[in-house]
Amino acid sequence: MADPMRIRANVVGDSTEVKVLMNHEMETGQRKDAQGKAIPAWFIQSVTATYNGKTVLSAQWGPAVAKNPFLSFKFKGGAKGEKVQITWTDNHGDKRTDEATIS
């Protein structure tokens, strides 16, 4: 299992601002190791953010998203103490879900 994400969710006016820092290699498949063999691609393919069971953002990523991806977005609504969940899936089928409390 991969390392946990760092998620911060803050109420800004009538919206909630979510900032996520994921821990992932995001290997592009373009690089070669010391022996000249290509390092296989390993990257997050899809990301979903949910709040109250409703999807507030979903994304598909290619390998060109930077290592340890950062993502920030805002959605309407959200109150202190409520939870936001983020799930990612990579091209190995690995999955990770983390949640954060809105503050």
Partner 1 sequence: MNSKRRTLLQTGSGMTLLTMLAAAGWLQPGDALAADAWNAAAFDTKSMDDTFKSLGSGTPAQSKGITFTQTPDIAENGAVVPVGITSAIPNTQSIAILIEKNPNVLTAVFDIPPGTEPSITTRVKMGQSSNIYALVKADGKYYIASKEVKVTLGGCGG
Give the interface with partner 1 as residue ranges (CB under 8 A).
Answer: 15, 26, 28, 30, 45-46, 48, 50, 53-67, 69-77, 85, 87, 89, 91, 95, 97
d(CA 75, CA 53): 14
Task: Provide, rounded to whole angstroms, the least separation between the CB of residue 77 and partner 1.
Answer: 7
Task: Provide, rounded to whole angstroms, the least separation between the CB of residue 48 and partner 1.
Answer: 5
C-alpha dist (Å) from residue 84 to 3, 17, 43, 90, 96:
18, 10, 23, 20, 14
Task: Provide, rounded to whole angstroms, the least separation between the CB of residue 39 and partner 1.
Answer: 14
| Two tokens, residue 58 | 């979903």
